[in-house]
Amino acid sequence: MRQDEPIWITGAAGMVGAALTRHLRSEGYTNLLTPTRSELDLCSADAVQDFVVQHRPKHAFLLAAKVGGIAANIADPVGFLDENLRLVVNQLSACAKAGVEKVLFLGSTCIYPRECSQPMTEDSLLTGPLEPTNEGYALAKIAGLRLAQSYQKQMGMQCVLPMPCNIYGTGDHFDLTRCHVLSALVKRFCDAVDQEAESVTLWGTGSAKREFIHVEDAVRGMLHLFDAETEGEVINLGPGNDVSISELAGMIAEQAGFEGQILWDTTRPDGMPRKCTDNTRLKKLGFEPRVSLCDGIAMTIQEYRQTLSSNSYSANAA
């Protein structure tokens, strides 16, 4: 990519989009198209088409999505399927019609079957039933990557299809109704320390295993794949190792300074039993993450503490 070429980034206000925008600007890219939700309704096919025709991006990073953890997915399966389908169809269609040269569509490892072999290879896609608690989101992502591949095959629009594991880090939110597991645990344990709580009760059994990548590594990986010759293949994006939720909770509790008891509400779902990527393709393309999970947890705790301090300052000032 040239630094003066128009580059469209959807979801630029989100954790991944904001990190990508920061990174590209720091590298001297000067023509980034980052409309906010109020400026461009991605669920409107006409609005998206008009925007792309007007601005003629050379490249596009399609990161916008309705996202959330297990609770949010269970509460709104219609929203997670319907809205995400609209987003991906509108964006890819507009890019193809306007002649965008290369498109990155950000997927998720939730696309893989619930019971697929571990670590998950890209070839396991569509070999079995999905995890019910996030089926809507996963179906929309699968439809998006297949549509992108179809546009590449039929119309020549190059597509890059990274499938990241759980992304966390700078810019994540800590709303327990919407956030993912790592940021939720950071909030729970930091708040427990501040409230001098004797115990924290978490969902599930703690046995489910998850893989994590810091958002800065995710962005580096996306850009690495964008410049590589991936030929429209699905590429897992992750470190290739995982931890149980119980182990993760222990790591976060220790770094947050929580010394109480961790309890498990086993009436609540665990979600997919294990999600660990086989990152062989990623390594062959020359990329590996840099930020360790331990360091990433420390950074996230610090960022949450800073958020609390800022909110406290704002409230006092008001």
Over residues 218-232, the pLDDT tens digits come to 999 999 999 998 999
* pLDDT at residue number 312: 54
Q: Give 271's pLDDT tier (boundaries 50, 70, 90).
A: confident
* pLDDT at residue number 248: 98
Q: Are residues 105 and 262 in contact, defined by beta-carbon separation less than 8 angstroms?
A: no
- The reply to whether 106 sits in an annotated binding site is yes
Angle at the Cα of 54 (from 49 to 55), degrees rounded to 5?
A: 105
Whole-number Å distance between alpha carbons of 172 and 65: 14
- What is the percentage of the chain residues whose pLDDT exceeds 90? 87
* pLDDT at residue number 316: 44
Q: Which of 112, 137, 151, 168 is catalytic?
A: 137
Q: Average the pLDDT over 59-87 and give the result.
A: 91
Angle at the Cα of 308 (from 303 to 312), degrees rounded to 5?
A: 145
- The reply to whether 179 sits in an annotated binding site is no
- The reply to whether 148 sits in an annotated binding site is no
- The reply to whether 180 sits in an annotated binding site is yes
Reply yes or no on whether the pLDDT at 315 is more than 50. Answer: no
Reply yes or no on whether the pLDDT at 295 is more than 70. Answer: yes
Active site residue 137: yes
List the structure tokens of 243: 């931890």
Q: Give 9's pLDDT tier (boundaries 50, 70, 90).
A: very high
* pLDDT at residue number 225: 98
Give one DSSP letter per residue of 31-67, joined into a string: -EE---TTT--TT-HHHHHHHHHHH--SEEEE-----
Give one DSSP letter per residue of 221-261, joined into a string: HHHHHHHS--TT-EEEES-S--EEHHHHHHHHHHHHT--SE
Whole-number Å distance between alpha carbons of 226 and 222: 6
- The reply to whether 264 sits in an annotated binding site is no
pLDDT digits (tens, 9 = 90+) for 140-154: 999 999 999 999 999
Q: Are residues 173 and 179 in contact, defined by beta-carbon separation less than 8 angstroms?
A: yes
8-state DSSP, 203: E
- The reply to whether 108 sits in an annotated binding site is yes
| pTM, entire model | 0.93
- The reply to whether 213 sits in an annotated binding site is no
Q: Give 1's pLDDT tier (boundaries 50, 70, 90).
A: confident
Whole-number Å distance between alpha carbons of 184 and 291: 20
Cα torsion angle, 127, 131, 136, 142, sign: negative
More confident position, 175 or 312: 175
Q: Are residues 87 and 37 in contact, defined by beta-carbon separation less than 8 angstroms?
A: no
Q: Which domains does the chain have, with CATH numbers?
A: 7-317 (3.40.50.720)
Question: How many C-beta atoms surround the C-beta of residue 189 within 10 A?
Answer: 27
